[in-house]
Amino acid sequence: MMSCEGMANRIVKYLDGRASAAERHELEAHLALCADCRTRVEEFRRLWVVLDEVPAIEPSPAFDARLRERIAAAPQPSPWSWLAPAPRVLAAFAAMVLLAVWLSWQSPAPEPEARTIEPGRSEQEFTMIRDLQVLEDYDVLANFEALEVLPVASDSDDRKM
């Protein structure tokens, strides 16, 4: 059995005669049992009778030509008009820039982390970690083979200067 909601969606198809025989039989069975849907169908039929009495307005023979003239006379947008942003876009962009500037001034600079010595580590180990780049440079220079061929300056050479 069809519900009233399903019937409401098929009334026009039924009244136009576009419903299949099975749909038509099902709709008529529902209309026999449901007074509300019968009333709705009768209202649609009366509306269509009134609409059939209204004279159809035919466009004038020159309608098409006048319409084409109006379209041709309408101002054409510039080929560069797509570059001009809409006022809403400009306002949104300005608001985003202002927000970014404001946030950059409001965010505090990060504070350096306080270093604490973990249990079992000495201050010397932390100093060595801090000076790791210097130690790496020393290690590279100490093992640099090109320095071995250079003459070693003696103390007597230093006194001559």
pLDDT for res 6: 76
Residue-by-residue DSSP string for 58-124: PPPTTHHHHHHHHHHHSPPPPTTGGGS--HHHHHHHHHHHHHHHHHHHHSPPPPPPPP-PPTT--HH
pTM tops 0.75, yes or no = no
Please tell me the least confidently modeled range out of 44-53, 61-70, 99-108, 117-126. Answer: 117-126
Give dist(CA 55, CA 38) in Å, integer. 28
- Residue indicated by tokens 């404001």: 102
The alpha carbons of the chain give a radius of gyration, in whole angstroms, of: 46
Q: What is the pLDDT of residues 124-154, one digit of tens each?
A: 666 666 666 776 777 666 776 666 676 776 6
In this structure, are residues 14 and 27 in contact, taking their beta carbons and an 8 Å threshold?
yes
Question: How high is the pLDDT of residue 115?
Answer: 58
Could you state, in order of their start, the residue ranges of all structural domains in the chain?
Answer: 4-53
